Amino acid sequence: TLDVTVRVSGTEVSGLLRTAADGSIIMDLVQKNETVTENSVVVTSGDDQYPAGLVVGTVRFIDDDAGPLFKIVRITPAVSVGVSGDVIVIRP
C-alpha cells in the first residue's frame, strides 16, 4: 500500500497519499474546511520517511461529498506508474 504524508504546495493543506480501491491515487484525510484547487501541485511533506518537497502529482478532482469531516482529493501522478529505472538522491 501507498501511505505518504503530503501537502498542497504553497499551502498548509495536508493529507495522506494513498492508492484508492480502483488503483487511482488520492490525497485522503483532507479536512472539509480546507481550500484545495484543481491543478495545484502536491508534494511530500517530510513528516515521514520521504524528504519534503518531492512532487507527487497535481490535483485532478476534489470530492467534497466523501464524508462529513473530510474530502478526498484525486491526484494525477507526476510520473507514469509504468516508468521504472534508477533514482539517485543527492543530499547536502
State if pTM tops 0.85: no
pLDDT digits (tens, 9 = 90+) for 15-62: 999 988 888 899 999 999 999 999 999 999 988 888 999 999 999 999
Asked if residue 43 lies in contact with residue 6, where contact means CB atoms within 8 angstroms, the answer is yes
Quick one: three-class SS letters along the chain? Answer: CCCEEEEECCCCCEEEEEECCCCCEEEEEEECCCCCCCCCEEEECCCCCCCCCCEEEEEEEEECCCCCCEEEEEEEECCCCCCCCCCCCCCC
pLDDT digits (tens, 9 = 90+) for 3-16: 899 999 999 999 99
